[in-house]
Amino acid sequence: MDLKKAIILSAMVTAGTTVFAQSSNLKKAASNIQKYEELRSTGSAQLGTSFLKTAKEAIDAASVHEKTKDLAETWTYYSLVYASLAVDEKSEENATKAAEAIAKAKELDKDNKNASNLGVAEQNLYSFNFNHGVGFWDKKEYQAAYDSFSKALNYMPGDTTLTYYAGLAAIQNNDYKNGIDKYKQLIDKKDYSQHKAVMVDLPKLYLSLKDTTSALEYAALAAKAYPNENDAVVQNIELNLIVGNEAKIISEIENQISKDGNNKNLYYYLGIAHSANNDTDKAYAAYTKAVQIDPNYNDANLNAGVVLMNGIREKLQKVNEDKSLSNNQFTAKINELKEQIKPAEAHFLKVVENDPKNESALKGLKGLYDFLQQEDKGKAIQAKIDAL
């Protein structure tokens, strides 16, 4: 996926001249970085290159001058200059210098007089590291991308997009532990656009670590957060069935149905649970109930047709294996199965009516007509499949 870069527009605070009474270099650095930032904020950073260069020369001198090297203001403007240089030149070295200057300025700034300008420097470092991370992502250097996003989070803690990107980078690098850590920080951010993806992916990440207990826990959370989202609910059902919680998950769905008997999705999920539990009759009954509530429910219609055909296929296998049947008995059994399978046609046709290019439904019809030996219908459906 493509990651979007960060755009930061920040405003510096112009300091009073009394701050710079002891150093013309400090004053020159402040004046020139101010001019540069003003141009950068209007999208004209290139026009301010000379100001940035002058600011660098001045602040380098001020940072070693006896009268100014221990002033919080000096390291504040040092951080501003080098953070801007980091962004302008895409320089990791300058970003490191800016970060070190921020730490030193905060140590010296006992009264927090420089907090606003330090905030600007931090925003620039956030932008630098964020965009640096996107660059590494684009080059598929996922460990470096994760490291850059993590650095950016130091300056913008709690940023949802940045936290998500850091999680993605960790996951792409098979660093599931850190991926999980970042994703879990987004659990309570329900308004975040990728929240559902995070909730649905967390159980999968735990499975990658072979932590089934946690996978079940977070699958349940995802289903609770998104009770009407197929991928979240089905995942919870499937995980519970895998670990042998068939009775538990079916009971939970049936309990919900008792409270909301007209919820078509609940019957659909019940059908999935019964189907996964190899109870085709109950699965078909659940799917047909969902279709009764909404005749145009494509997923339920498709699954109803499929589960019915699968059930007939199992019965057909038993008939074929029963060597005790006479020819007449065998024919009678086959005709009986043909009658039992016919309702699948209506389910598949309804799906095709709503979605003419639904390949699964078309293939279901083709298999059905082949079994029923309805050659003309089978050819017509095959033509539609070939035309997809």
CA 313 to chain centre: 39
- Other CB atoms within 10 Å distance of the CB of residue 9: 11
- The pLDDT of residue 5: 58
Sequence-separated (6 or more) residues with CB below 8 Å from residue 111: none
What are the sequence ranges of the domains in the chain?
1-135
Distance, CA of 189 to CA of 185 (rounded, Å): 8
Rounded Cα distance, 236 and 245, in Å:
11
Q: What per-residue confidence (pLDDT) applies to 242? A: 86
pLDDT at 44: 77
What's the CA gap between 95 and 79, in Å, rounded?
9
How many CB atoms sit inside 10 A of residue 188's CB? 9
Task: Give 192's DSSP letter.
Answer: S
Amino acid making up residue 190: K
Which tokens sit at 370?
A: 């082949």
Task: For the chain, 388 residues long, give each residue's pLDDT as a single digit of tens.
Answer: 666 655 444 444 444 444 444 468 999 998 899 888 888 777 777 777 889 899 999 999 999 998 899 999 999 999 999 999 999 899 999 999 999 999 999 999 999 999 999 999 999 999 999 999 999 999 999 999 999 999 999 999 999 999 999 999 999 999 999 999 999 999 999 999 999 999 999 999 999 999 999 999 999 999 999 988 989 998 998 899 888 898 889 998 998 899 899 999 999 999 999 998 889 999 999 999 999 999 999 999 999 999 999 999 999 999 999 999 999 999 999 999 999 999 999 999 999 999 999 999 999 999 999 999 999 999 999 999 999 9
Give, in order, the Cα–Cα distances in Å from 278 to each of 48, 255, 271, 274.
Answer: 71, 21, 10, 6
Answer for the pair 116, 75: CB distance below 8 angstroms, yes or no.
no
